[in-house]
Amino acid sequence: MTGKTTDQRWGFLALISSAPPRLGRLGYAVGYTSAYGIFVLCCLAIAAAAPVAGMIHRDRRRRIIWLRGVASRVARIYLGYCRLIRMVKVEFIGERKLPPGLIVANHPSLVDALWLISTQPNICCVLKGDLERFGLFRYLAAQLDYVSNQDPERLLAEGCERLRQGETLLVFPEATRTPPGELPTFRLGAAELAVRTAVPVHPVVVHKAGSYLSKARPWYAFPNQPLRWQIVFTDTLTEVRTDAPRHARRQLTAGLQKFFHQQITSYQVAQRPPRTET
């Protein structure tokens, strides 16, 4: 017999992944702190890639698309890192390859957008205006050509423009994170974008266990277990009414909100009894 089989050679990896030693409180505190540190590094890496994009592509649109590709890959690497150190468990369900359109998602935690960015090579996000206070985010948002929600009129105009250019736009219609245990209230803007542009609407339901990274809990109150997400890509809505826009946007908002409420409620019911720690 010559050479080891792959199983033998990489068997030690199975040891790491199949029989994880229990991490204590300190282990999780170190793990989560490192996740924050790596997150900042990831942001800096994308920021550093922005001038490179300018060197590779002279055309503005191609430059943005290239940089969004980098951001998506960096988000994927970051997710990989968080999984590797066993701080997160993220499960994606359903078809992730989406044709251009409007991704409508609920927003239970701080990093929902990051996990969604990791699934799409070219995605434009609607960014909460408050985040633009941070210079790094403001720079990244400008370089990635994201849309701010600060001014509703500009949000509608720029959102429509992105969608008409054939981009994928991510919107959280609840505008900001909804505390755990509450059902989100959707605002009209997301539906208005769909009604004005008649693009496909992709509802993505984000389930998040526990309260960490929600508004209910400070960042330093680390949980003693991995954070768990289940991100469900549901069926695309292709026939959005575009006549009678006032009626159409209200109807679509109400319909989407009802659908998300049903999904969130049935998930909470189906879940195992919550653990005490998180």
List interacting residues with another protein (CB under 8 A): 150-154, 156, 187-189, 192, 246, 249-250
* Residue 189 vs 210, nearer CB to another protein: 189
Output the smallest distance, CB 129 to another protein, in A: 9
* Residue 7 vs 153, nearer CB to another protein: 153
Residue with tokens 């359109």: 101
**Using CA of residue 138, residue 140, residue 145, residue 147, what is the dihedral sign?**
negative
The pair of structure tokens assigned to 226 is 């991995």
From 89, 90, 118, select the one nearest 103 (Cα to Cα).
118
* Residue 76 vs 250, nearer CB to another protein: 250
Output the smallest distance, CB 225 to another protein, in A: 38
* Residue 106 vs 253, nearer CB to another protein: 253
Backbone angles phi, psi at 132, to 5 degrees: -75, -5
Backbone angles phi, psi at 168, to 5 degrees: -100, 125
Output the smallest distance, CB 249 to another protein, in A: 6
* Residue 11 vs 152, nearer CB to another protein: 152
The pair of structure tokens assigned to 147 is 């849309």
Alpha carbons 157 and 135: distance in angstroms, whole number: 24
Output the smallest distance, CB 151 to another protein, in A: 5
Residue with tokens 């001038």: 51
The burial class, CB within 10 Å (0-12 / 13-18 / 19+), for 256 is buried
Output the smallest distance, CB 186 to another protein, in A: 12
